Structure 1
Amino acid sequence: MPHSTRSTALLLGVGLCLGALSPALAQTKTPKYSNEFLNIGVGGRALGMGKVQASLAEDATAGYWNPAGLLGQKTKYDAVLMHSELFSGIVKNDYAAFSMPLDEKSAIGISLIRLGVDDIADTRDLVNEYGYIQYDRIRYFSVADYAVLLSYAYKVASIEGLQVGANAKVVYRNVGEFANAWGFGVDAGVQYNRGNWRLGLMARDITTTFNAWSVDAEKFKGSAVTNDPIPKSSTEITLPRLVLGVGRTVKLPGQFTALAAVDLEATTDGKRNTLISTSAVSVDPRAGLEVGYNNVVFLRGGVGNFQKIQSFTGQEEWKAQPSLGVGVALSGLRLDMALSRLAVEKLGQRSQANSIIVSLGYGFK
């Protein structure tokens, strides 16, 4: 990759982890894109379908997409592992989940998420007191975001096909030795299945989620940045986000099936660059399709993240983020891969940053 493209990817990768940090350290109470690392998505199947899962999730990944779906898993125990690398491998995204039923009407799950950029060079002390460059004075640190989701799902006996769920989540964010934050929040979800139709509603951060930042001001001081302002400790609030989904399964000739679904994601933290955008609510629609053969081999596709982008020439046009995926399920083992493409505008030229996501799932009795 050319040096300029790698530099662009590095800046975007670091920005993905630090984007919400600057407003927080400036003591903004409700910054836009707070805890955005929790909205990247998990699981090769979901990401291959354009993150359309509110009505579909039914394995251990449901703890992330919609905890009500934990009741849909086909085996007693289910586990999923995922690793993906964004922006030419600069950003590492890792995920693990486990779920199991308690009885016929309830299930529990746990999900672990980490998004991080490692080995970031701190060059503030690169020049020594005599004005000479001294490379052994370079120090390295990591920026990482962590989340633990504890999930519970319950089947409503009085209404056939209705199930509800909730997450209690703990967030920890770390910027080397300079700053860290602890956060707590609650999600709630509903799924309703009738015939070949599936409906879902996921409410993230329904009570709002807060991050309490603690900043070590002394660590921010350095010989190269003595005039920069020193951040202060603060509290960051994440406002609710709603995802409404609908899906339908269709039987095709032979042993083929098709599953089509649409999600509408509504954010409440101000006007965003989405297809439907207002000062109160912004709505981002997504669509996904999965074609399966004998419940063994699956091909997937999806589209979402519609944004109006202004090119270097000043012309505005709508762009979307497409994704493709493939999956194999055999004897309880599931291997899912997804390819997601993110367009990056660079000096009037369009370069492409591809993300390859691999997840491994296993259901066992």
Structure 2
Amino acid sequence: MVKNLLLFLSLLILFFLSGIAQAQNISAPKYSNEFLNIGVGARALGMGGVQSAIVRDATAGFWNPAGLVGLPKRHNAVYMHSELFAGIIKNDYGSYATNLDSTSALAFSVIRVGVDDIADTRRLQNEYGAIQYDSIEFFSVADYAFLASYARQSNLIPGLTLGANAKIIYRNVGKFANAWGFGIDAGAQLRRGNWQFGLVAKDITTTFTAWKLNPDELESTYLQEEESFNANSIEVTLPRLILGVGRSFQFAKRFSALVATDLEITTDGKRNTLLSTGVVSVDPKVGLEIGYANAVFLRGGFNNVQQIEDLNGKSSWKVQPNFGIGVATNGLQLDLALSKVSDNSQASSVIVSLAYSFD
């Protein structure tokens, strides 16, 4: 049993180390496909995105596919909507998960992050200098991800579940450009009494996104500065590793608590995180959930530890606080969260999630 677990962990680490090697040899941009790291689900975001070890619902298809085996009932559906920057960016997510049998589960998820109704004013003025408002066109910039997830309980190690994602990425910039990509995630969860452990390797084989620009729409703009431009390009998303641990507590029969933490390790170079090098960066997260009678929940979390420099050149460490509440009854669960809390209210994000579980 131990050999099989070590083999699985060794494979994940091998892929992760290969990603580090590629980070040193490939000119990969930071924050590639970063829309996939905003997060989904009001419960998760209210806890600062700490989910790798504790997720047990349909959102596991995003956070850690191994958690799908812990679905509360046979079927589970989740929908989430949030808005960023005073409603400019819309973030929508939907997922459906089902238990195939007592030891395996399957899920399908879709994510859309986009800005709609952007005005294209390039033709606002005609050749005679007159303004023609009817020439204004509107377009959207949107990123999509489609995930198919599978999880299975290990027959060799009690409490161990393994899972994987296959994801298709589609990114669209109106009629100017679009891109297709494909990637794979893998994860594991181990439950030992009140302790829960999680391991997730995202973009484990690197994710390649192929961009195609529309020369008819862009060439005249580029030719103002240079003779030609490349209409096709490849964007590479390097692997990231997430290690998590959580522990649940029970108080006075009706009260419960869940404390968890994640360490997110990226391989695309130095980021503004608590721990960082020229090759990898480590971003810690902490989350807490207090429940009453499995019906009412209060949540909080801290993440995004960064060093911020003010206008006087003085640097200080700051963290991002997150808060959330939830109510559940008869398989229906409503969760609210306030994320990205800051002095600038327009930068904060309100997340609403609705989930339903049934047999």
Amino acid in structure 1 at the alignment position of 2:320: Q
TM-score, normalised relative to structure 2: 0.89
> What is aligned with 1:118?
116
Is 2:324 the partner of 1:330?
no
Q: Give matches, 1:1-365, under 5 Å.
A: 29-221=27-219, 227-228=224-225, 230=229, 232-343=231-342, 353-365=347-359
2:126 is paired with a residue of what secondary structure?
Answer: coil
Q: Distance in 2 between matches of 1:179 and 1:319?
A: 37
Amino acid in structure 2 at the alignment position of 1:303: F
C-alpha distance after superposition, 1:138-184 (max 9, x if no partner): 21110000000000001101110000000000000000001100000
2:44 is paired with a residue of what secondary structure?
Answer: helix
Distance 1:73 1:351, change over 3 A: closer
Runs (5+) with no aligned partner, structure 1:
1-27, 345-349
Q: Distance in 2 between matches of 1:228 and 1:90?
A: 31
- Is the contact between residue 29 and residue 236 of structure 1 (CA under 8 Å) also seen in structure 2? no
- Is the contact between residue 86 and residue 346 of structure 2 (CA under 8 Å) also seen in structure 1? no
Over aligned residue pairs, what C-alpha RMSD do you find? Answer: 1.5
Amino acid in structure 2 at the alignment position of 1:357: I
- Is the contact between residue 29 and residue 235 of structure 1 (CA under 8 Å) also seen in structure 2? no
C-alpha distance after superposition, 1:33-63 (max 9, x if no partner): 1000000000010000000000011110000
- Is the contact between residue 202 and residue 242 of structure 1 (CA under 8 Å) also seen in structure 2? yes
Q: Distance in 2 between matches of 1:343 and 1:37?
A: 20
- Alpha-carbon distance, 1:29 to partner: 4.9
Q: Distance in 1 between matches of 2:304 and 2:329?
A: 32
> What is aligned with 1:3?
none
1:71 is paired with a residue of what secondary structure?
Answer: helix
> What is aligned with 2:5?
none
Identity of aligned residues (%): 60
C-alpha distance after superposition, 1:181-204 (max 9, x if no partner): 000010000000000000000110
Distance 1:294 1:281, change over 3 A: same
Q: Distance in 1 between matches of 2:61 and 2:290?
A: 24
Distance 1:221 1:124, change over 3 A: farther
- Is the contact between residue 124 and residue 222 of structure 1 (CA under 8 Å) also seen in structure 2? no
- Is the contact between residue 322 and residue 341 of structure 2 (CA under 8 Å) also seen in structure 1? no
C-alpha distance after superposition, 1:247-284 (max 9, x if no partner): 00011234111100000000001100000010111000
- Is the contact between residue 125 and residue 132 of structure 2 (CA under 8 Å) also seen in structure 1? yes
Name segments (4+ residues, structure 1) moved above 4 Å. 228-231
Amino acid in structure 2 at the alignment position of 1:196: N
Runs (5+) with no aligned partner, structure 2:
1-25
- Alpha-carbon distance, 1:231 to partner: 5.4
- Alpha-carbon distance, 1:134 to partner: 2.3
